[in-house]
Copies of this chain bind each other. A is one copy, B any other.
């Protein structure tokens, strides 16, 4: 279950399961999965891919919902803050978390051609990084790993 993005799978149930789990987690922790937040999560889940904030706005607009930038950014902030999504810094885009609820160092395999994103699990930050941090008195809060390259679909097309 390390990754889902490049596999074939039952995507409809993959989405509904993730939504249910998010709802449950919010209920249990006094968080509000408002319609806007829920819809943005749904959009992210629909693609297993990095989606830009303005792409999300485009979808919301088609739904007839409010679609000014802060709408998307506020929902995304909520989702990222509570672990339902991650920001892919290299793409200035967002992706639904593949391991919500589990403590993990997010690690992404980002296809340079099609922007598909696979999320791998890395249990802890590499030792050499932690050693350096300790040596200089740096206190790590959050670690992200981003690898770029070519996915199985796109690699052949490049050769």
Name A's B-contacting residues (CB within 8 A): 2-3, 6-7, 89-90, 107, 109, 111-112, 118, 120-123, 125-126, 128-129, 131-133, 135-152, 155
Contact = CB atoms under 8 A, between A and B. Distances in A.
Contact of A6 (B2, B129, B136, B145): B136
Which 9 A-B pairs rank lowest in CB-CB distance, beginning with the nearest?
A: A137-B152, A89-B89, A120-B132, A141-B149, A143-B147, A140-B149, A139-B150, A109-B138, A2-B132
B89 A132 contact: no
A112 B143 CA distance: 12
A111 to B, nearest CB: 8
Given A144-B145, A146-B144, A138 B122 contact: no
A155 B133 CA distance: 13
A135 B2 contact: yes
Copies of this chain, count: 2
B151 A136 contact: yes
- Kindly name the residue among A2, A107, A112, A126 whose own CB sees the greatest number of chain B CB atoms within 10 A: A126
A146 B149 contact: no
Most chain B Cβ neighbours within 10 Å, of A111, A112, A121, A136: A136
A136 B150 CA distance: 11
Nearest to A144: B146
B141 A125 contact: no
Given A107-B126, A129-B122, A6 B148 contact: no
14 contacts: A2-B131, A3-B135, A6-B136, A89-B146, A107-B128, A109-B133, A109-B136, A118-B136, A118-B138, A126-B126, A133-B149, A139-B150, A140-B149, A146-B146
